[in-house]
Structure 1
Amino acid sequence: MLAYTVYSEAGGVGKTTLAANLAVAHRRAGLDVLVVPLDPQDGDLSRLFGVDVDRADASADNLVRHMVGSPRGPFTDLIHTVEGIDIIPEHNALADLQDHLRREKQKAEDFGESYNIHAQLRRVLQEADVPQEYDVVIVDPPATEGPHLYNAIYATRNLLLPVEPSAKGQAAVRGLEDLAKNFAEQLNINVGVLGAVPVGVKGTSDQQELLKEIPYEVPAVIGDRTSMMEGCWRQQCSAFRYVREHRSRRRDYEVETLAQFDEIARFVEKEGGIEAPNPPEPGTLDEDEPEVKA
């Protein structure tokens, strides 16, 4: 199984849309994909795919309940399927994840037991047989340090970095490099960076110079696609579905971006040691393409 976290310290770089579209790109190639978004804010992956209807329902079962050992049902009941990918929707309980985990840690220590607050997402996924059921797991944490990010890193051990082509973005990459190294040393795990994906590039000379300084492999450089990405959020779908169903005409640069999502997915799969059984021609959109799952 390939597991990775899509993360950037800088907000507004398209982290969530990259995670969402890579999930669909993996699925288009015949892989079974689970996405675990962990952002407690409303503008999140669950909202993008329209599966956040229960996020404010305090009585609803949710991932946080499973992480603190108080589920109200089986893990599989949490799953929603959209565009062929399985998603664990975000819930407002994520805002209090740190407090919940600290209470569980205190209870364990009161009984003389150890409790790793950063290992609880990994435990939940393992107990649900996720490594056996899925080919790819993508975790999308918020752009801040804390238990959401640390649980994501501990669970996946791999990072894919969306990069803003600016000095701020470069500083965020360096900061994440230090964070991942320190976290790995603290918990005695190996954390790898699969690659970096510059997003929103407009092709200025300054940006081109900054791109040369990225210290990781760059499988693709995604241009400024503000209109397409805003359309995805408006229609609550991936870029693949948006271009196929909500554009009256095909724009070459948008199809090129879809091809890049496919190419990044193949790159990540190769880095993670898995092979997709049926990869499409990058960017291909079959008008009669059936939905794999409803």
Structure 2
Amino acid sequence: MDTVMLAYSTYSEAGGVGKTTTAANLAVAHARAGLKPLVVPLDPQDGDLSRLFGVDHERTESVDNIVRHMIRRPKGEFDDLVRTVEGVDIVPEHNMLSDLAEYLQREKDQAEAMGEAFGMHAQLLRVLREAGVPETYDVLICDPPATEGPHLYNAINATRSLVIPVEPSAKGRAAVEGLESLVVGLENQLEVEVGVLAAIPMGFKNTRDQRAVLDEIDYPIPEIVGERASMMEGCWMQQCSAFEYVREHRDRRRDYEVETLAQFDRLARHLESEVGLEAPNPPEPGDVDHEVMTV
């Protein structure tokens, strides 16, 4: 039987929209339902997904990391890169990601000097395939930086689909409009089809202007997430997902926060259904105390 893997990159041209927390909470929502997710964050900035989950301490040059694998200089097996937090497997970010473009260009130049081909934007896809990721995992999530370049191109080439957190503002509208041309450009450049699984408005306050922005978005909008700055800041402080934050670090359950967790659960089910992936143990949306099945 063919295995089905849901694969997507979280992308937002605008900063501060909650792209990384969206990736993290969706990954945990997939894991809560009994699926096996792998997250490959590719953002070299501080405040990245590795830091959110507290797995970003090994960043020295001597440590094996995803960049070494992408330039065919691994120091170990891919599986040894993986850290597991809250049921989610993560390949931690590394300082070498800051210079990914230079490393890939150098490898490309060396390969071409030897008469070999080296696709700079296909190396993450190669690494994941060689490691058997499509056969091992149910879900692959990449979290690249917003800027165009090899991090973003490798992520999109590996996943072929996007989930877009959107700021419901004039800035967010411009970002979505820019995204449409970006998708077409990427499809032409990478020679792959890129789909948009969902746009997720974040920080919605239900103003008339915000509703007007949402009306102009042509992509599916399965959920609209309200202003949750306090909860998301708490996640960064405690280095955990919103699910764990509400369960372990809130003195009382706030209905609006539990509803946001339910939205992440429902979003995960929506994304899974887009590729025909059926979770074996989906919780009641927002059930904070749901027992996670180990895969």
Q: TM-score range by the shorter chain?
A: over 0.9
- Measure, in 2, the Cα distance between the counterparts of 1:99 and 1:243: 41
- Measure, in 1, the Cα distance between the counterparts of 2:251 and 2:40: 32
Task: Give the unaligned 5+ runs of structure 2.
Answer: none
TM-score (norm 2): 0.97
- Measure, in 2, the Cα distance between the counterparts of 1:275 and 1:290: 16
- How far residue 214 of structure 1 moved from its aligned partner, in angstroms, is 0.9
Query: Do structure 1's residue 246 and structure 2's residue 274 form an aligned pair?
Result: no
Query: Do structure 1's residue 170 and structure 2's residue 173 form an aligned pair?
Result: yes
Match runs of 1:1-294 below 5 Å: 1-55=5-59, 57-286=60-289, 289=291, 292=294
Give CA-to-partner distance per residue, 1:95-114, whole Å, 9 cap, x none. Answer: 00000000011011111222
Give CA-to-partner distance per residue, 1:182-235, whole Å, 9 cap, x none. Answer: 111222211111010000111211111111111111010000000000000000
Given the superposition, is the C-alpha separation of residues 292 and 241 from structure 1 closer, same or farther in structure 2, using an over 3 Å criterion?
farther
- How far residue 86 of structure 1 moved from its aligned partner, in angstroms, is 0.2
Are 1:80 and 1:86, in contact at CA under 8 Å, matched by a contact in 2? yes
- Measure, in 1, the Cα distance between the counterparts of 2:112 and 2:196: 34
Are 2:201 and 2:225, in contact at CA under 8 Å, matched by a contact in 1? yes
Are 2:235 and 2:241, in contact at CA under 8 Å, matched by a contact in 1? yes
Give CA-to-partner distance per residue, 1:127-186, whole Å, 9 cap, x none. Answer: 000000000000000111110000000000000110000111111111111111111122
- Measure, in 2, the Cα distance between the counterparts of 1:290 and 1:208: 36
SS in 2 for 1:179: helix
Moved over 6 A (4+): none
Residue type at the aligned position of 1:231: G
- Measure, in 1, the Cα distance between the counterparts of 2:166 and 2:191: 27
Given the superposition, is the C-alpha separation of residues 154 and 84 from structure 1 closer, same or farther in structure 2, using an over 3 Å criterion?
same
- Measure, in 1, the Cα distance between the counterparts of 2:287 and 2:294: 16
Residue type at the aligned position of 1:47: R
SS in 1 for 2:118: coil
- Which shows bigger deviation, 248-257 or 105-114? 105-114
- How far residue 43 of structure 1 moved from its aligned partner, in angstroms, is 0.6
- Measure, in 1, the Cα distance between the counterparts of 2:173 and 2:167: 7
- Measure, in 2, the Cα distance between the counterparts of 1:8 and 1:32: 25
SS in 2 for 1:54: coil
- Which shows bigger deviation, 272-281 or 192-201? 272-281
- Measure, in 1, the Cα distance between the counterparts of 2:292 and 2:218: 40
Are 1:83 and 1:291, in contact at CA under 8 Å, matched by a contact in 2? no
Residue type at the aligned position of 2:198: G
- How far residue 291 of structure 1 moved from its aligned partner, in angstroms, is 7.8
Residue type at the aligned position of 2:84: T
SS in 1 for 2:121: helix
- Measure, in 1, the Cα distance between the counterparts of 2:293 and 2:84: 11
Percent identity between the two aligned chains? 68
Task: Give the unaligned 5+ runs of structure 1.
Answer: none
TM-score (norm 1): 0.97
- Which shows bigger deviation, 142-151 or 202-211? 202-211
